[in-house]
Structure 1
Amino acid sequence: MSVGQNSPNLAIGYSRVRLLKLFGAGLLLTLLCAALAFNWHLGKNITTFQIAACYVGVAFFGLATCKMLWTLISSREPVVFISRVGIRDTRLADETIAWSSVRDILIWQHRTQTIVVLKVDPLVAERFAGGFLKRVLSLMNRALGANGVILNAGGLTMDAETLFDTCKQYWAAGRSAYPGRSMAEPEPEPVS
């Protein structure tokens, strides 16, 4: 796909099938942890640590399953918008990240999860830092090696590799709109 000045605006929403799979996996893990934590199988050789870990698992997977159910019920509109100007992920913020502020686009993989990471100017990254929970998650991702604005394709109609390729193409088209200068450089002031 060649992207240029006539490139279409893309709107990416949630995939019902993928969300149902994630919901099913979360429900299964919640029930498994609950079976061990509440001793539904009448096992005698379970340690206190294992029971405590299963209680944490019930809380974690239960909350994740509830969030997935809420997303399934309430997802009617697209959440990621890609245009010639930039990219906007309404799950992060309602602001558009201009392609001119993106320094690099990387694909990052940790075990089975693949995500797209946008390396953006520091001032732009500050706007997407969010509240306390988002900052903690950002620090955890940074410790794992994903430093930047994270676009998670989990549950979307577009997989991570396709999202990465699409972002790269639109980013390259945005860079070609300003030939002769780096995207990180400020716009030259007009001479009067």
Structure 2
Amino acid sequence: MKAACLAMAGAALALCAPLHAQESERKDYAAVTAASTPVADAYFKAYIARDWDALEPLLAPEASFQDPTATHVFGGVLSEGRDAMMQRFRVGYAGISHMEFVTNRRLHSGETAIYEGALHWGLDLGDGTLVDSVTPMVIVLTVDDGKVVRHRDYVDYAPFLDAVRKARTSG
């Protein structure tokens, strides 16, 4: 019983941490969020515009890109390191005719930026078939020390696959 009382007393003390410590954490949160937001927004803008020259300096050398939702559509989509990412974007995205993002929600919290919306994009399949689709999408970026270190795309590819089927059957 005495041990239980001591444990409860310790928990109560932990919950009543000095106010200045809590304020310090909030200031750090606010400062980190304020510092990462313009970096993430500039990167996001460059990504959607396919402005690779503007995007590249915003990437950390050890950055990574992944779209785990693309596995069944495009195969494994993972690029590790700035050079690999830029290769993917400059070469792998060359068949994309346009990308426009309509943002439903944008969230910045500490090092993380999340953009949720719909991506209107066009793709040349390489066989003369052009596909245009609007896909629900979430982009998650992680910023550290003024650079993007992690980029994850999550896409509902069903509308794209429907557009591919329609384009191939009508052509």
More strand by percentage: 2
Higher relative contact order, structure no. (Cα contacts within 8 Å, ≥ 6 residues apart): 1
